[in-house]
Amino acid sequence: MKAWHEGQGARSALWRDRSYEVMFDAFAPAPPRRRIVRPGATYRGHKTPRHERYFDRYEALFDRPEAQPRYVYCLRNPWAVWRSLKIMPWNSVRTVGAFVEAWGRSVETFERMQATAPGRVLMFDLDAFVAAPDAEAFLDEALFRPLGLDPASFLKPVSSLANNNAATVKAGRSPPPLFQDEIDRIGDDAKSRGWVERYFADVTPPIGETRGWLQQMRG
């Protein structure tokens, strides 16, 4: 998209004048069965794991000072993330070591985003959300209000929405507990430990079963 945008912009002054609107409109399409057309929507965007990788591209595409993009970064403690991620059918991260590296790169990107775009990068604490006694109240305070969204304007109340990304939906079962060597591998990483202390100071690493070397080789 960015290459096409730059190519068109180099050839046409008219395109340069309208490029922001065209790029903004590109976020509106959705699969036919889930299409929602809201011309007056305050925000348009999408949610997909690891989309923080595209931060620099988004900043280059949506560069109007009066209409800059906003970002919501969902952060959860690494043990919970790995426990859920490892059973997802779409997961390509096969070892806990590779996960530690990937999770670390993601958090580093998040912190760079905060430094680059102060006031436009919102951290959403998934651990706190899961533990919240009132999910809707938590969402209102931690997500909707900071984004200037009024739940009264939503097409459906939040309470009516199912979590279609849950492991029980995607994988057909709850994720099994982590093994102790996985727990230790995550906790022994200096960077991961530092981020846990910074963002999840009240999280206690779980205790898991010990497995033999053959089980570890099999993952």
Q: DSSP string spanning 97-153?
A: HHHHHHHHHHHHHHHHHHHHSTTSEEEEEHHHHHH-S-HHHHHIIIIIHHHT--GGG
pLDDT tens across 112-158, in order? Answer: 999 999 999 999 999 999 999 999 999 999 999 999 888 888 877 88
What whole-number distance in Å separates Cα of residue 39 and Cα of residue 84? 36
DSSP 42: S
Between 106 and 64, residue with greater pLDDT? 106
Query: pTM value?
Result: 0.79
pLDDT of residue 26: 66
Kindly tell me if the per-residue pLDDT of 107 is higher than 70.
yes
Distance CA 41, CA 25 (A): 11
Closest CA to 149 of 88, 70, 207: 70
CB atoms within 10 A of CB 118: 8
C-alpha R_g of the chain: 20
More confident residue, 22 or 3: 22
- Cβ neighbours of 124 (radius 10 Å): 16
Nearest CA to 214 out of 181, 184, 175, 185 is that of 181
pLDDT digits (tens, 9 = 90+) for 176-202: 899 999 999 999 999 999 999 999 999
Q: Are strands 121-125 and 71-75 parallel, antiparallel or unpaired?
A: parallel
Q: What is the 3-state secondary structure (H, E, C) of 51-68?
A: HHHHHHHHHHHCCCHHHC
Identify the band that residue 174 occupies on the pLDDT scale cut at 50, 70 and 90: confident
The mean pLDDT value of the chain amounts to 82
- Three-state secondary structure call for residue 74: strand
- Percent of the chain at pLDDT exceeding 70: 78
What is the chain's length? 219
* Domain definitions of the chain by residue range: 1-46, 50-176
Please tell me whether residue 211 adopts helix, strand or coil conformation.
Answer: coil
